[in-house]
Amino acid sequence: MARYFDVHPENPQARIIGAVADGIRDSALIAYPTDSCYALGCRLGNRDGVERIRAIRHLDDKHHFTLVCQDFAQLGKFVHIDNDVFRTIKAATPGSYTFILPATREVPRQLQHPKKKTVGVRIPDHVVTQALLTELGEPLLSSTLLLPGEDEPLTQGWEIKERLDHAVDAVLDSGDCGTEPTTVIDFSNGEAEIVRRGAGDPDRFE
């Protein structure tokens, strides 16, 4: 049975954030809010967590996860980013964007694109997510909480708790989230390529 945490959306309670971070360090799989929609997340290197996400979402082994980072200092440990691309991304960050960039050796091989050796990264603009990332001190391995056969992600924490009570370890509820996943921009070739249009305005990359 999943633990349910009702967290304040603007002033997240430190004890709740601490408890969830401790759970993640202890291999928990969580459902949590972001600036785009609710997501599933676990610690980088938590192979069981990855397989549980795949099972919940019915994903094959070709699906690529996202590293949700606190800031550019953290992001820079996991991707290679040149000055021009950095300036472009910085102008849109934090925000509802996922950027595909060449991965560093810090990213496990199974999480990289098998041919391009890339990985998706993002810095969310969400108070609760940022509080959790700050407390955790490392990125979250993440995937949109979109269930099989459904057109939109779940938007309410209580519904996530109800439907995934035995599939996740904790639900962090800060109220309703949106229904659009992030906009995905591929910078692996040095130029912006819009892969998916979502919650973030893609016009700045065209």
Q: Check which CATH number belongs to the domain holding 48 and give it.
A: 3.90.870.10
Q: Is the pLDDT of residue 62 over 80?
A: no
| Torsion, CA 162, CA 164, CA 169, CA 175, rounded to 10 | -60
Closest CA to 6 of 158, 153, 132: 158
Its domain, for residue 112, covers 3-205
Compute CA distances 105 → 50, 79, 80, whole Å: 19, 9, 10
Q: 118, 85 in Cβ contact below 8 A? A: no
Average pLDDT, the chain: 95
Confidence of residue 63 (pLDDT cuts 50, 70, 90): confident
Distances (CA, A) of 60 to 11, 50, 55, 56, 178: 37, 11, 9, 11, 25
Residues 49-67 have a mean pLDDT of 92
Number of domains in the chain: 1
Six token digits for residue 61: 């082994």
User: Global pTM?
Assistant: 0.95
pLDDT digits 0-9 by tens, 172-203: 999 999 999 999 999 999 999 999 999 999 99
pLDDT classification of 25: cutoffs 50, 70, 90 = very high
